[in-house]
Structure 1
Amino acid sequence: MTETLLVTGAAGQLGRGVIRHLLDTHKVPPARIIATTRNPESVADLAARGVVVRAADFNDATSLENAFKGADRVLIISTSDLDLKTGRRLKQHEAAVAAAKKAGVSHLLYTSMPNPEPVSPVLFAGDHYGTEQAIKASGIAYTIFRNGWYQENLFMALPPAIASGQWYTSAGDGRIAHGARDDMAAAIAAGLASGSTDSKTYTLTGPQAYTTAEIAALVSEVTGKPLEVIQLPDEALTEGVKAAGVPEEFANVIVSFDANTRSGRIAMVTDAVETLSGRKPQTLKQFLEANKAALAG
């Protein structure tokens, strides 16, 4: 391994997972890994392992250009800035792509989402689609990872649903193949460490797609607690989410996930995780069993 690999968002859960797999699974020398974050002190543990840590702020183009210097392969992990009114996240990503081009990066990797085209019901899909287009327009060879929904995302919905015995949704009979975050991190790390020069797009999913009712049945089986699924129109679900104390803008985003599931746009199941990482992905039942106490209280 002679290439220098850079991971943005290194303090986040996905970024940390990718770097851990680079170090421990792929045995990449730490001096060949650059971890970038707004707050370098937050990854002091990585620095202690010999990883190069650099400050990078997606709102500061100069900081991105400085951070990317000397990097051969750059993984841009999408930022968490969901300001839908200003389109700030897309601007951040476009700045990162421009900085990578200016730095002479040979390969760009990016964490997107499945089917982000403009017809997607997901309110922030345009950020991902626009970033994919910017990467392709840059002329840099690329790998785009379209990450499916994480199993860990169920921590938002399931604990209150299990506690009340009722799970409110507007997903209908739409299916979704939740995948483990660490499985996706393993696949992404493998792609980053591969040295591949081809431009490719992978959709990363869990091993099986379920309807909300089927997930609820699995939850009941694992926890021993009944869980009734109650289907609502999007508007009624939005009002219910807002009544639970979620700000309107984020409530709309949450409900757009269910609309996306209902539309069938995230029902796909791929073998990309296993193909890239060489390991069997965690099943949903395994996730529920491992997190039974946290989910059921």
Structure 2
Amino acid sequence: MSETILVTGAAGQLGQRVIHHLIETYKVAPGQIVAATRSPEKLAGLASKGVATRKADFDDAASLEQAFTGIDRLLIISTDALDTPGKRLAQHKAAVAAAAKAGVKHIAYTSMPAPDNSLVTFAPDHLGTENAIKASGIAYTIIRNAWYHDNYLHSMPHNLQGGKWYSATGDGKVATISRDDCALAIAAALAAGTSESATYTLTGAESLNNREIAVIVSEASGKPLEVVDVNDEQLGQGMRGAGLPGFVADMLVSADANIRAGNFDIVTEDFTRLAGKQLQSLKDFFVAHKAALTASDNAGGH
């Protein structure tokens, strides 16, 4: 395959892993990969491997069109502009428009499970972006990433120190997946060179409720963990009290509400379909990250 693949958000955690898997796992030549970000100087490590780097600023449509010129396959990794409602969707729409102008042949996009049936604050960004991509007429691969195993590493060290996990998910279940496994499947989709349009939902192999997750965390860390049920208001107040910005607290509360409503209780085999292997279970992930879970200096939890 001699297509040129561009990855936006290439300095971010997901972007770095996607490019790693393109080169190391799927043996895509570095010269066929373009890494793009607001600050290309952060990509020196990739440039030294032979990956081309370009500046792509989602707030500057001209820079996007310039970055996407000569690109066959574009991966738009959703931006982190969550503090201003509507900003992220505007950025994504600008990227889709720029891709159309630049003559990109295929767009891949990182979305979330069931964005059309979601209580999560940022779900409309994803749904609106998916619709913009479909309306562009460009062939697409939409990859809906479930909640990451990795997200628990922000709060679990703090929870384990006190032995309590305040949760508003009730009996709701979620099938989480590691960020690295998402990157692996995304890289597989990019490297496959398909001209078909498709939507995949990447989830874990089993859906778990908070008490089942607490048992796994406890066994992996060797520390007791009790789930304490709270309501949305209590959860939001606790997070704000711990110093989280309001929009982050609101987002996390909405994610718990979405789990409680059953909207994240989705299990697919799309990961195996794309990557052709078994994914890392939550248990194996926690065992592999035991040091991070039990780090006593992570008292803030984020």
> What's the TM-score once normalised by structure 2's chain length?
0.96
Q: Does 1:83 align with 2:75?
A: no
State how far apart, in whole Å, the 2-side matches of 1:116 and 1:219 are: 28
State how far apart, in whole Å, the 1-side matches of 2:129 and 2:290 are: 37
**CA distances 1:97-141 after superposition (whole Å, capped 9, x unpaired):** 000000111110000000111x42100111000000000000001
SS of residue in 2 equivalent to 1:196:
coil
1:84 Cα deviation after fit: 3.7
* Paired position in structure 1 for 2:170: 172
State how far apart, in whole Å, the 1-side matches of 2:218 and 2:106 are: 45
Two-structure CA RMSD over aligned residues (Å): 0.9
1:83 Cα deviation after fit: 2.6
Contact 1:121 1:260 (8 Å CA) reproduced: yes
1:188-207 correspondence runs (5 A):
188-207=186-205
1:293 Cα deviation after fit: 1.8
Question: Could you tell me which of 245, 255, 259 is aligned with 1:257?
Answer: 255
Contact 1:83 1:89 (8 Å CA) reproduced: no
User: Where does structure 1 differ by over 6 angstroms across 4 or more consecutive aligned residues?
Assistant: none
- Partner amino acid for 2:8? T
State how far apart, in whole Å, the 1-side matches of 2:205 and 2:225 are: 23
State how far apart, in whole Å, the 2-side matches of 1:259 and 1:166 are: 19
- Partner amino acid for 1:113? M
* Paired position in structure 2 for 1:132: 130
Question: Could you tell me which of 262, 281, 284 is aligned with 1:283?
Answer: 281
1:250 Cα deviation after fit: 1.6
Contact 2:10 2:16 (8 Å CA) reproduced: yes
Q: Percent identity?
A: 56
* Paired position in structure 2 for 1:58: 58
Structure 2 stretches lacking a partner, 5+ long: 296-302
**CA distances 1:33-83 after superposition (whole Å, capped 9, x unpaired):** 111011111011111111111011000000000000000010000000103
1:200 Cα deviation after fit: 0.5
- Partner amino acid for 2:11? A
SS of residue in 2 equivalent to 1:251:
helix
SS of residue in 2 equivalent to 1:294:
helix
* Paired position in structure 1 for 2:239: 241
> What's the TM-score once normalised by structure 1's chain length?
0.97
- Partner amino acid for 1:268? I
* Paired position in structure 1 for 2:145: 147
- Partner amino acid for 2:17? G
State how far apart, in whole Å, the 2-side matches of 1:165 and 1:183 are: 29
After alignment, is 266-275 or 136-145 more displaced?
266-275
SS of residue in 1 equivalent to 2:143:
strand
**CA distances 1:189-232 after superposition (whole Å, capped 9, x unpaired):** 01011111111000001122110100001112222211110111
State how far apart, in whole Å, the 1-side matches of 2:245 and 2:28 are: 43
* Paired position in structure 2 for 1:99: 98
Number of matched residues? 295
1:277 Cα deviation after fit: 1.0
* Paired position in structure 1 for 2:300: none
Contact 1:84 1:124 (8 Å CA) reproduced: no
* Paired position in structure 1 for 2:27: 27
1:249 Cα deviation after fit: 2.1
State how far apart, in whole Å, the 2-side matches of 1:84 and 1:231 are: 30
State how far apart, in whole Å, the 2-side matches of 1:8 and 1:276 are: 21
Contact 2:82 2:247 (8 Å CA) reproduced: no
* Paired position in structure 1 for 2:298: none
